Structures are given as C-alpha cells and as structure tokens.
Chains A and B, each alone.
Chain A
Amino acid sequence: MATAVGTAAQFRHRRHPGGTVATIATWVIGFLFFFPVLWMVVTAFKQEVDASTDTPKIFFTPTLDQFRGVFDSGFWPYVGNSMFAVVVSTILVLVLAVPAAYAVSIRPVEKTQDVLFFFISTKMLPVVAVIVPLYVIAQRIGMLDNIWFLVILFTSMNLPIAVWMLRSFMVEVPGEVLEAAEVDGAGMFASFREVLLPMLAPGIAATALICVIFAWNEFFFSFILTAARAGTVPVFLVGFITSEGLFFAQLSAAATMAALPVVIAGWVAQKQLVRGLSMGAIK
C-alpha cells in the first residue's frame, strides 16, 4: 500500500513540469486556431491602406468607416431576411419536434426505433440530391426568392436534430415524475404543460440555440433559391465581393458582422453544443 501511494505521488510529481509545457502548448495552439478570426476582426477596424500592406500592420488608428460602408451597401434587409427565416423556422421546428420527441420517449409509439431511424436518415440525404426538384417546384409555384420557401427548408434541415436532441432530454425525466402526474388524473396535455414543460425548458432552449446556429450559417439553399428580395446574410456576403471588388478591410467588416451573432450564441451555449452536434448521443 505504502509503495503504491509512493508511485502515484512520484507520478504526479513527474507530470508537473510536463504539465506546464502542455499548458503553454495548449494556449499557443488555441491562439493559432483563433488567430484567423482575430485577424479578420482587427482588419475590419483598419483603413483600406492599412489593410493591404505587404507586411501586416499591427499598429494603426482604428476606424468604424468599414462598418459604415457595409451598412450603406444594403446590409440590413439581408439581416432582416436571415432573422425572419431563422426565428420562424426555429419556432416551427420546436412546434413539430417537441410533440414528436414526446411520442418517441415519454409515451413511446410502436416501432420507435424505426421512426428515429427515419428522422436521422433524412439528415443524411445529401442536399444536392434534392436541390434540382426544389428549384423546379419553387419556380413553378412562384416561390423562388421567397423567404417562406427557405423557412420550410430550414425547418426540415433542423427537424431531425431537434427530435433527437429533445428526445435525449426527455428520456432523462425520472419515471416517478410522470407517474405522479398520471395518478393525479391529469390529462396528457395538462400533464405535459404542468409537469414536463418546466423541466424541459432548458433542453428546449438549448435545442432552439442549435437550430439558430445551423440556420443562420446555411448557405447552399439560400444561395440557389434566393436573390435580392429574400437573400440571407451569407448571400449578402458573397454578393458583396463581386459587387464591391476586393476591399480587404470592408470585406472583413462584413464577414465579422455576418459571423458575430452565431459566434456569440455558440460561446453562450458551449455546454449544450456537444449534445446538439452529436444529435443527443453524447451528453
């Protein structure tokens, strides 16, 4: 016993200097991964002359001119479209997914596995395989460049993730809680609202955040199915390059603002990110 403790202590002692090196390495790597983002934000505060230099400039007089330039080139309507598509699709996802997750976890239907299998298989269907008919349908029913068409596609894109993620929260609800609700003679809907909903609120919020992240960043559908009227922020960003030519600082300002909302949302939701990304498989 004494020797075993001795070995463990020695081990800890030996690990300590290595620990400092590892810590410094972790910090350096973390900084390197973050550096491109940092450089983008820094460049956004430069004048164009400071941004296009052979030797990167670290010291310069910061300016908000580039952000003003982006606002002046019609940024806000695209933000409005993105917000609308993201918010409405996320609400739709929750309206569809909360009852569905309930039906595969709390009071499971027969063939629950098959249903879950189906939902996740739709996520695995490559979007390129359906883009042509979607475009043709949108064209025929006059929904090209219409934000509602994107709302529907964003909803279907996030629905499987939401069903799986919500299910993972619901299976954690203790059985006694549900039993208690049933003994009281509460109906299905009442027991859901009174007992489950308050317990699930954090899980629902986390699911919504994941949906927001994916919908805000979506480019493929938006790029092909929308243009000037219903275009979203990524579409603006792409159009910005071609219409404005190559202005590093202004481009950085546009990219910074486009990326900012989701970066902040993701930082806030760090703890729930893993569960969302693994569709609830990992907590």
Chain B
Amino acid sequence: MATLTAPTRVATEDKKARRSEGWSRRGPLLPALVFAIIVTQLPFLLTLWYSLQSWNLVRPGSEQFVGLQNYADIFSDSTFRSAAWHTILITGACVGIAMLLGIGLAVLLDREFVGRSVVRTLLITPFLIMPVAGALLWKYMMLDPIYGIINWVLGPLGAGETDWVSQFPLSAIVVALVWQWTPFMMLLVLAGLQAQPKEVLEAAQVDGATGIRTFVFVTLPHLRRYIELAVLLGAIYVVNTFDQIYMLTQGGPGTASANLPFYIYQRAFLGFDVGQAAAMGVVVVVGTIIVSTLALRLIFKSFDIEEA
C-alpha cells in the first residue's frame, strides 16, 4: 500500500487540477458504489419502513401504520425467541465444531506425503457441492431411517431404524453444516500454517520442544488471526443458513429446528405478514451489526499483517 501511494503527485499542482484529478480518481469507483447503495441499502430502508406497518402480502391496500407494534409482537412470540435461540445454537455449534476439525485436518495436510493434493481435493469437495444437493444427500443417502448409510453402519450397534432427521432435527442440521463448513475452516487455517516461518519451528525443535509444545506455544499464537478471521466469516454465512433447514427439516417437527431466516421466510411467504417479517429482519440486522463490527476490525488487522 505504502509503495503504491508514494508515486502519486499532488504538491506542485494547482487546486483546479487537483479537483479534476480527484474526480478522475473517484470516477472508476462510482458505478460500483452507486449500484451497491441502490441494491442493498434502499431495500433495507424499505424493510425499516415495512416493519412499522401492518400489511398482508396477498391483500393489496391492507397497509396500515402501526408504529412499533410489530416489534412488541415478535418479542412476545415464543416461536421467534426459539428461532433466535436456534440460530445462535446452530451457528455456534457449526462454527465451533467445523473449526476444531478444520485445525486438525489442516495440521494433517501441512506435511509432505503421498497423494497430498488428492486428499486435499477430496476434503474441499463438501464445500463446493451445491448446498441444496448436499442437504439432499444427507437427508436421503446418509440419514434416511431405512435406506440411509448411517443406520446401516450403526445397525450392529443397535441403532435400528432411527429417524435422525425427525428425532434429532437440530443435530442433523448441524452435521450437514459441519460437513460443508469444515473444508472452509481447514483451507484458511492451512494457509496460516503455510505462512508460518519455518525457521521458528526449526528453532523450537532444536531447543528440544516436543511437537505438541511447539504447536501450542508457537503455532497456535501465529494461527490466531487466521482462526478469528475464519470463525467470523464462517459465522456470517452460517447465521444466514436457509438451504439446509428448508431441505432437511422444513424447520420441524413443528418449529423445533426453525432458525430466524427460515422463520422470516415462513412469516413473509407462508403467513403473508410483511410487517412482522420485516421487523424480524431488522432485529437480525442489529444482531449482525454487533458481530460484524468486530469482524471488520479483524479483517482490516489481517490485511495489515499481510502487507507489512
């Protein structure tokens, strides 16, 4: 960054030239900026406005200003509260487990061995599979009570014909999500491992540190930034999970596995309640802003590291 700003010249030019230069600099940025503002910010302003209305989607003209009534309604709605709780639970479990597995796999892959690139290719595949297809194959190929592989493998242990998806809906969703997100975590941690200076590790070995001690006291502190970045980026995607829940459980049985995105979809497009759906959307945004402010700081920090 520093090397790139250096050759720009400003000092000798008069004000007018500087202003036109300013516009020639800003010009290339404007189309993208204007596009992003129109497509993302305007709809959100509308969401804020809708959240103050009582409005049935299929009855045009039913709009009515109700102030903060929708917010009062959703916070007294036990389904909303349980959906919020499921969102936190699913995101926390998925990101946590996927990260632990990801670190383990990254350490295993950060070695020279026969077929390393083949194994890495196998491992990243779950992340590339279309999430809808991934959810399908978990529901029907793996977890189906009669034909699923899981029950066939666990059969000798007495699993019988357990219907995983309806008996343990949240766990089934987390399993499918962990399967998808472990490669993401693994790739980011692996990049961190490969960026670690080899001399430091050799020095630790020469000093007689064991593999585990080296990992805990030398490697983990180095990986911290990478892990934080991966956790926060992963969390931002996983909070929005819709595909797996729609495909695996439809939020059921009842509302036992509905998260906020799924519940908002239900309120808006099956219950036609625009106002409440919008109010829930606003609540999700407020929650996300808190988390993402943190995430943004970290991303900027990571950049500083890379470019130093």
The answer to whether the Cβ of A205 comes within 8 Å of any Cβ in the partner chain is no
Beta-carbon contact of A277 and B187 below 8 Å: yes
Beta-carbon contact of B6 and A175 below 8 Å: yes
* Residues 134-162 of B at the A interface (beta carbon under 8 Å): 134, 136-138, 140-142, 146-147, 149, 152
The answer to whether the Cβ of A73 comes within 8 Å of any Cβ in the partner chain is no
Complex interface bits, B72-111 against A, C-beta within 8 A gives 1, otherwise 0: 0000000000000000000000000000000001001101
Complex partner residue of B124 from A51, A105, A179, A266, CB under 8 angstroms? A266
Beta-carbon contact of B31 and A99 below 8 Å: yes
Beta-carbon contact of B50 and A39 below 8 Å: no
What is the interface residue range for chain A against chain B?
35 or more
Q: How far is the CA of A156 from the CA of B202 in the complex (A)?
A: 46
Beta-carbon contact of A171 and B205 below 8 Å: no
Beta-carbon contact of B39 and A11 below 8 Å: no
Q: How far is the CA of A216 from the CA of B130 in the complex (A)?
A: 8
The answer to whether the Cβ of A119 comes within 8 Å of any Cβ in the partner chain is yes
The answer to whether the Cβ of A118 comes within 8 Å of any Cβ in the partner chain is yes
The answer to whether the Cβ of A231 comes within 8 Å of any Cβ in the partner chain is no
Q: How far is the CA of A248 from the CA of B139 in the complex (A)?
A: 11
Smallest beta-carbon distance B47→chain A, Å: 5
Beta-carbon contact of B268 and A278 below 8 Å: no
Among residues of B, the one whose C-beta sits closest to the C-beta of A25 is B108
The answer to whether the Cβ of A135 comes within 8 Å of any Cβ in the partner chain is yes
Beta-carbon contact of B47 and A175 below 8 Å: no
Q: Which residues of B contact A87 (CB under 8 A)?
A: none
Q: Which residues of A contact B211 (CB under 8 A)?
A: 15
Smallest beta-carbon distance B130→chain A, Å: 5
Smallest beta-carbon distance B25→chain A, Å: 5
* Residues 13-32 of A at the B interface (beta carbon under 8 Å): 15, 19, 22-23, 25-27, 29-31
Residue among B28, B146, B149, B208 having the largest count of chain A Cβ atoms under 10 Å: B28
Among residues of A, the one whose C-beta sits closest to the C-beta of B190 is A274
Q: Which residues of B contact A266 (CB under 8 A)?
A: 124-125, 127-128
Q: How far is the CA of A115 from the CA of B25 in the complex (A)?
A: 13
Complex interface bits, A252-283 against B, C-beta within 8 A gives 1, otherwise 0: 10011011001101110010011001110111
Q: How far is the CA of A132 from the CA of B26 in the complex (A)?
A: 33
In the complex, how many residue pairs between chain A and chain B have their CB atoms under 8 Å apart?
321
Beta-carbon contact of B132 and A234 below 8 Å: yes
Q: Which residues of B contact A174 (CB under 8 A)?
A: 3
Q: Which residues of A contact B31 (CB under 8 A)?
A: 95-96, 99-100
Q: Which residues of B contact A105 (CB under 8 A)?
A: 1, 4
Beta-carbon contact of A178 and B7 below 8 Å: yes
Q: Which residues of A contact B125 (CB under 8 A)?
A: 33-34, 37, 263, 266-267
Beta-carbon contact of B44 and A129 below 8 Å: yes
Q: Which residues of B contact A31 (CB under 8 A)?
A: 122
The answer to whether the Cβ of A109 comes within 8 Å of any Cβ in the partner chain is yes
With A19-B113, A128-B281, A220-B243 known to touch, is A104 a contact of B123 (CB < 8 Å)? Answer: no
The answer to whether the Cβ of B196 comes within 8 Å of any Cβ in the partner chain is no
Complex interface bits, A146-165 against B, C-beta within 8 A gives 1, otherwise 0: 00000011011001100100
Q: How far is the CA of A99 from the CA of B26 in the complex (A)?
A: 10
Beta-carbon contact of A128 and B240 below 8 Å: yes
* Residues 116-172 of A at the B interface (beta carbon under 8 Å): 117-137, 152-153, 155-156, 159-160, 163, 171
Q: Which residues of B contact A103 (CB under 8 A)?
A: 25-29
Beta-carbon contact of A125 and B130 below 8 Å: no
Beta-carbon contact of A99 and B28 below 8 Å: yes
Q: How far is the CA of A217 from the CA of B306 in the complex (A)?
A: 30
Beta-carbon contact of B26 and A36 below 8 Å: no
Q: Which residues of A contact B218 (CB under 8 A)?
A: none
Smallest beta-carbon distance B154→chain A, Å: 13
Beta-carbon contact of A129 and B284 below 8 Å: yes
The answer to whether the Cβ of B167 comes within 8 Å of any Cβ in the partner chain is no
With A100-B28, A124-B288 known to touch, is A258 a contact of B50 (CB < 8 Å)? Answer: no
13 examples of A-B residue contacts, CB within 8 angstroms:
A15-B211, A26-B105, A100-B33, A120-B296, A131-B281, A133-B50, A152-B39, A153-B39, A216-B130, A219-B131, A220-B242, A262-B129, A279-B233
Kindly list 12 other residue pairs between chains A and B, CB separation below 8 angstroms, not including A34-B126, A36-B137. Answer: A22-B111, A23-B114, A54-B152, A103-B27, A131-B265, A179-B7, A259-B130, A278-B230, A281-B299, A282-B188, A282-B226, A283-B306
Give the interface of A toward B (CB within 8 A). 4, 7-8, 11, 15, 19, 22-23, 25-27, 29-31, 33-34, 36-37, 39-40, 43, 51-56, 95-97, 99-100, 102-110, 113, 115, 117-137, 152-153, 155-156, 159-160, 163, 171, 173-175, 178-179, 182, 188, 213, 216-217, 219-220, 223-224, 233-234, 237-238, 241, 246, 248, 251-252, 255-256, 258-259, 262-263, 265-267, 270, 273-274, 277-279, 281-283
The 8 closest A-B pairs by CB, nearest first: A99-B28, A133-B46, A129-B281, A100-B32, A266-B128, A103-B29, A30-B119, A156-B39
Give the interface of B toward A (CB within 8 A). 1, 3-8, 22, 24-29, 31-33, 35-36, 39-41, 43-44, 46-47, 50, 57, 105, 108-109, 111, 113-115, 118-134, 136-138, 140-142, 146-147, 149, 152, 179, 182-184, 187-188, 190-192, 195, 202, 205-206, 208, 211, 226, 229-230, 233, 236, 239-240, 242-243, 246-247, 260-261, 264-265, 268-269, 274, 277-278, 280-282, 284-285, 288-289, 292, 295-296, 299-300, 302-303, 306-307
